[in-house]
Amino acid sequence: MITGKTTDWTGSYHEVVYQFRSTGAATSYYRENYAFNAPCKDVSPTSCGKTSSLAVHSLTTGHVEGGPAFFEQLKTGHTDFPDGVNADEWVVVGRYVCSVDALYPVGQPRLTPNAATQALCLA
């Protein structure tokens, strides 16, 4: 994770790999995750007196190394941070579902999690 002071924040990556017993189980999880994210548009949860906001800007599907993938881009806001962009990528690779979440300030050139996803899933 790459972070700095609130005024100096540059962004971060979060990577997760979920392992399943079968390709079918991994694909099922991926589809359920996509179905959960597809209808979400705008949310503003509050926790411990801090408010966050997420607004979906795009949700597209594609492939990474032949496996199904979806890419979600959101605008984020938080009481303690400047507005940011959250770019999520979810990919099925065999029995694995890989996720890379890139978070960076608005105005910073768009980070591409795709290469990180490929390295994470194919290692």
The boundaries of the domain holding residue 77 are 6-122
- The pLDDT tens digits of the residues spanning 74-91 come to 777 766 666 777 778 889
- Least reliable range by pLDDT among 4-13, 44-53, 89-98: 4-13
Q: Say what the pLDDT of residue 2 is.
A: 39
3-state DSSP percent of the chain in helix, strand and coil, to 5: 20, 50, 30
68 part of a folded domain:
yes
Q: How far apart are CA 93 and CA 104, in angstroms?
A: 26
Residue 46 has, within 13 A of its CA and on its CB side, a CA count of: 2
Q: Say what the pLDDT of residue 19 is.
A: 96
Average pLDDT value for the chain? 75
Q: Say what the pLDDT of residue 119 is.
A: 54
Higher per-residue pLDDT: 113 or 33: 33
Proportion of the chain above pLDDT 70, given as a percent: 69
CATH of the domain at 75: 3.40.1000.70
Q: How far apart are CA 89 and CA 81, in angstroms?
A: 23
Q: How far apart are CA 26 and CA 67, in angstroms?
A: 11
For residue 58, the surrounding DSSP H or E stretch is: strand 50-64
Give the total number of structural domains in the chain.
1
Q: Say what the pLDDT of residue 59 is.
A: 81
50 part of a folded domain:
yes
CA distances from 52 to 5, 56, 87, 91 (A): 18, 13, 16, 26
User: Does residue 4 surpass a pLDDT of 50?
Assistant: no
86 part of a folded domain:
yes
66 part of a folded domain:
yes
User: Does residue 1 surpass a pLDDT of 50?
Assistant: no
User: Does residue 72 surpass a pLDDT of 90?
Assistant: no
1 part of a folded domain:
no
24 part of a folded domain:
yes
Residue 77 has, within 13 A of its CA and on its CB side, a CA count of: 10
